[in-house]
A and B are shown apart, each in its own frame.
Chain A
């Protein structure tokens, strides 16, 4: 037993462990490549900063600062030593609102993306893997959902369902999956023709085994890259919906801050500290996700890597 191992210099490993080792090695390779992308790393840096701010919000600024009734700052006061980014129309510190708003914006963006990814991946796999009527119906469904205009639907849904954080997540999640589904479908179509899937089928693997063990792991990297791009769009959507007054009125997000700033006429009264910072935060976070997504796409898609 030991002689064979000594001759090759390796420890005996089970198939499962070998798979895991290879996956870990692939992740390490991917990370090494990602690190060489300057724009991707910049995006990652910005994102880490905002995630830390969102997680540490209770330490950075007391949540009492969000309470309109206890706010005692000046009305629309300009930035000063005490209020670094000035105050809003209720005398609350804009910086506090900004810090707490990051939680809602990131939360909505991530949760909506999760919903969209689950629906999109599932339908993409099914419509790509199964031919026949199942594939055709799921594909048509995807095409139909693709043409539903997002904002009008969101407006209609908000007027029918009412305004809450969960409804916003639902609206964004339910409208943003078709792009993912099409991407996954085209990947699945090409993967299911490959020799190793054919081999698995030849030795008796069932359909769901093939999907779960062979197709899905190969599609996952694309799902991952697509996810980061979808988060960017989800955060933009949340901001827009809140700006249009469709957001949860009880919670502060960057979008709802911009809504109130616009409503009270920050533009004409010149209180720039109320309307510029939330917008800049949105741009930075969305840009971060976009840069990371693009870098990931290049790492994971050799065709893109070759051309740049």
Chain B
């Protein structure tokens, strides 16, 4: 996604003003903005399920509810027979209390279910993000500093190809190549699951087993994210190369590495930092496909199962968590940016 977003876009989020403000009021403004976004998301979340064309009893029931009595019972169970403002108020009250309803499939509170399934996702996506950031930023810096060189050409075309690839298809290819094996090459890695069914995940053996199971999914997501970061890092470092301060640094007699690391990279890291922080917000959605392909019991797989059931409350809770994640990451990105670069506190 972020290939389209010009690095400048993220910082230019407020009207151009010459007056600079202190960090405290900048922080206050951004927190207010995040609360506004959160309210908007709650409204969207509520109306998505209730106001869109189509009768929920029909679409969600998938033709299983035939008699009027069944439909009435369905509407009553979901509180759909109450007037809309009242439904919205109940929804806000329950969400504020952390009550997201009861899952139809599992018969447990949705909040418990989401909390339980959050950890595999965090483990998978967290590891991949860290790896992708380190490798991607390194590739971007090295490519941009000697642009047009052999390293740059290879790493750019590799990044572009990875960027054009659906990450789950890459995962499937990795499973086929390294999990199942092809031709005369035997498979090495497990093809799916978080750990083997017969081990205790908290024992040492279990931890090693989980790590072994996570190699392929983490590689998949790392490669998918890495493309984004290396392309952005490369382009923001290229933006800095023509700047006068680099000439000054060279004139002072600094070595090439010092000019690069102490001056150019520091400035080029600004947009990259923002985009990394923003992407962390989209982790929940990013994991959906990879979790499906590798059958890892995280939030993504939960949502796909809920879709097939269909499990109304789980989908709603999942959407809430996913969007809250983005808003939080957005806020963090803005705060980091404002802290690193006083110019954007306008």
Cα(A201)–Cα(B1), bound, Å: 38
Distance from B161 Cβ to chain A, minimum over Cβ atoms (Å): 6
**A286 at the B interface (CB under 8 A):** yes
**A229 at the B interface (CB under 8 A):** yes
**B77 at the A interface (CB under 8 A):** no
Q: Contacts A147-B37, A160-B49: A152 and B304 contacting too (C-beta < 8 A)?
A: no
Distance from B75 Cβ to chain A, minimum over Cβ atoms (Å): 15
Residue of B172, B191, B286, B289 with most partner-chain A CB within 10 A: B172
**A161 at the B interface (CB under 8 A):** yes
User: Would you call B54 and A161 a contact (CB within 8 A)?
Assistant: yes
Distance from A164 Cβ to chain B, minimum over Cβ atoms (Å): 12
**B340 at the A interface (CB under 8 A):** no
Cβ < 8 Å to A, chain B residues 158-194: 160-161, 163-166, 168-169, 172-173, 175-176, 179-180, 182, 191
**B44 at the A interface (CB under 8 A):** yes
A149 contacts which chain B residues (CB < 8 A)? Answer: 281-282, 284-285, 319, 322-323, 325-326
User: Would you call A283 and B161 a contact (CB within 8 A)?
Assistant: yes
> Nearest A residue to B288 by beta-carbon distance?
A151
A96 contacts which chain B residues (CB < 8 A)? Answer: none
Which of B165, B191, B289, B322 meets A243, CB within 8 Å? B289
User: Would you call B48 and A240 a contact (CB within 8 A)?
Assistant: no
B147 contacts which chain A residues (CB < 8 A)? Answer: 308
A182 contacts which chain B residues (CB < 8 A)? Answer: 5, 9, 12
B24 contacts which chain A residues (CB < 8 A)? Answer: none
Which of A147, A158, A186, A287 meets B330, CB within 8 Å? A147
> Nearest B residue to A243 by beta-carbon distance?
B168
B308 contacts which chain A residues (CB < 8 A)? Answer: 245
B191 contacts which chain A residues (CB < 8 A)? Answer: 267-268
Q: Contacts A179-B4, A244-B304: A161 and B37 contacting too (C-beta < 8 A)?
A: no
Which of B6, B16, B41 meets A147, CB within 8 Å? B41
Residue of A157, A258, A270, A307 with most partner-chain B CB within 10 A: A307
> Nearest A residue to B165 by beta-carbon distance?
A283
B293 contacts which chain A residues (CB < 8 A)? Answer: 262
B310 contacts which chain A residues (CB < 8 A)? Answer: 159
User: Would you call A290 and B3 a contact (CB within 8 A)?
Assistant: yes
A152 contacts which chain B residues (CB < 8 A)? Answer: 284-285, 288, 303, 318-319, 322-323
Distance from B122 Cβ to chain A, minimum over Cβ atoms (Å): 16
A189 contacts which chain B residues (CB < 8 A)? Answer: 16
Cα(A147)–Cα(B48), bound, Å: 16
Q: What size tier do the contact residues of chain A reach?
A: 35 or more
Cα(A162)–Cα(B59), bound, Å: 7
User: Would you call A162 and B285 a contact (CB within 8 A)?
Assistant: no
Distance from B50 Cβ to chain A, minimum over Cβ atoms (Å): 9
B119 contacts which chain A residues (CB < 8 A)? Answer: none
**B197 at the A interface (CB under 8 A):** no
The A/B interface has a contact count, at CB < 8 Å, of 169
> Nearest B residue to A262 by beta-carbon distance?
B172
User: Would you call A179 and B282 a contact (CB within 8 A)?
Assistant: no
The 0/1 profile, CB within 8 Å of B marked 1, for residues 130-161 of chain A is 01000000001001100111111101111111
Cβ < 8 Å to B, chain A residues 255-308: 258, 262, 267-268, 270, 272, 275-276, 279, 282-284, 286-287, 290-291, 306-308
A229 contacts which chain B residues (CB < 8 A)? Answer: 3-4
User: Would you call B180 and A287 a contact (CB within 8 A)?
Assistant: no
User: Would you call A240 and B238 a contact (CB within 8 A)?
Assistant: no
Cα(A236)–Cα(B281), bound, Å: 20
Cβ < 8 Å to A, chain B residues 104-129: none
**A191 at the B interface (CB under 8 A):** no
Which of A148, A186, A267 meets B8, CB within 8 Å? A186
**A71 at the B interface (CB under 8 A):** no
User: Would you call A287 and B161 a contact (CB within 8 A)?
Assistant: yes
> Nearest A residue to B303 by beta-carbon distance?
A155
**B13 at the A interface (CB under 8 A):** yes
> Nearest B residue to A285 by beta-carbon distance?
B164
> Nearest B residue to A261 by beta-carbon distance?
B172
**A239 at the B interface (CB under 8 A):** yes
Cα(A308)–Cα(B241), bound, Å: 10
B169 contacts which chain A residues (CB < 8 A)? Answer: 239, 258, 279, 282-283
New A-B contacts (18) at CB < 8 Å, excluding given A160-B52, A236-B164, A243-B166: A131-B15, A143-B13, A144-B37, A147-B330, A148-B326, A149-B326, A155-B304, A159-B59, A161-B59, A179-B1, A258-B172, A268-B191, A272-B182, A282-B164, A282-B165, A286-B165, A307-B239, A307-B241
Q: Which residues of A contact B (CB under 8 A)?
A: 131, 140, 143-144, 147-153, 155-162, 179-180, 182-183, 186, 189, 226, 229-230, 232-233, 236, 239-240, 243-246, 258, 262, 267-268, 270, 272, 275-276, 279, 282-284, 286-287, 290-291, 306-308
Q: Which residues of B contact A (CB under 8 A)?
A: 1, 3-6, 8-9, 12-13, 15-16, 33, 36-37, 40-41, 44, 48-49, 52-54, 56, 59-60, 147-148, 160-161, 163-166, 168-169, 172-173, 175-176, 179-180, 182, 191, 238-239, 241-242, 281-282, 284-286, 288-289, 292-293, 303-304, 307-308, 310, 315-316, 318-319, 322-323, 325-327, 330
Would you give 17 A-B contacts (Cβ < 8 Å), ordered by A?
Answer: A144-B37, A149-B284, A151-B288, A152-B318, A152-B322, A161-B53, A162-B59, A182-B9, A186-B8, A186-B12, A272-B176, A275-B172, A282-B166, A283-B164, A283-B169, A286-B165, A307-B242
